[in-house]
A and B are shown apart, each in its own frame.
Chain A
Amino acid sequence: EVQLVESGGGLVQPGGSLKLSCAASGFSFSDSAIHWVRQASGKGPEWVGRIRTKAKSYATAYAASVKGRFTISRDDSKNTAYLQMNSLKIEDTAVYYCTRLTGEEAFNIWGQGTMVTVSS
């Protein structure tokens, strides 16, 4: 089955850290750029960042709102991407999704999302 499965969400205090995982199956993970998108309750989606493929030097890019605090990585041997979130703020509270982009197909696979709540 073609799917992405996010995990690792939870409740964390402001200033804390959390690491999300995005496990892929059923498609060529190593040929896919992985993007993270978040959505706060009642709001539209917000792009968080992406990591490209080995062929594109695993290049990363981030939204200004998370740059310097969040880091995206991937392990192609495990078909898994990660989102390390540090110095979390209340405004980072959202459902976090991963999705994929290739040269031919765009964002046609999404996970079910994992909830991150930043609160004291």
Chain B
Amino acid sequence: DIVMTQSPDSLAVSLGERATINCKSSQSVLYSSNNKNYLAWFQQKPGQPPKVLIYWASTRESGVPDRFSGSGSGTDFTLTISSLQAEDVAVYYCQQYYSPPLTFGGGTKVEIK
């Protein structure tokens, strides 16, 4: 199984400042035949299902604000919130969908400092 390791576990950032979350996979999730990284980022607020922000490691889902961006390839990935807003308080998860079993990172709780 591919193990997804997220860091940090929690993060307190001032409004308008940058938040950076890291995710490392135990093996590459880059599929060589199509050059796509099978890595997604989700935001989850209490009582709601996960909401995809980014897939294919860097493709922003329609309607997601452009302050959210994803980068990385192979085994190391980053989710960046360029200017934290109050509505971004949530838990964020990375997930690999390269091979079953699909696996999630442990989550990063983002709060306002």
Q: What is A's interface to B at a CB cutoff of 8 Å?
A: 35, 37, 44-47, 49-50, 61-64, 97, 99, 101, 105-108, 110-113
Contacts and interface: CB of A to CB of B under 8 A. Distances in A.
Interface in B81-96: 91, 93, 95
A61 B101 contact: yes
Contacts of B104: 44-47
B7 interface: no
Given A106-B40, A106-B56, A108-B61, A47 B103 contact: yes
A61 B103 CA distance: 13
Contacts of A47: 95, 100-104
Given A107-B42, A107-B55, A45 B101 contact: no
Contacts of B102: 35, 47, 50
Contacts of B62: 108
Contacts of B105: 44
Contact of A108 (B44, B55, B101): B55
B107 to A, nearest CB: 5
Contact of B49 (A46, A64, A97, A105): A97
Given A44-B93, A45-B93, A106 B101 contact: no
Chain A interface main SS type: strand
Interface residues of B, number: 23
A50 B52 contact: no
Given A44-B106, A46-B104, A47-B104, A110 B50 contact: yes
Interface of B: 40, 42, 44, 49-52, 55-56, 61-62, 91, 93, 95, 97, 100-107
Contacts of B52: 106-108
A38 to B, nearest CB: 11
Nearest to A112: B49
A45 B50 contact: yes
A61 B107 CA distance: 24
7 contacts: A45-B104, A47-B103, A62-B100, A63-B101, A107-B40, A108-B61, A112-B49
- Which 5 A-B residue pairs are closest in the complex by CB-CB distance? A106-B55, A61-B100, A47-B102, A110-B49, A107-B52
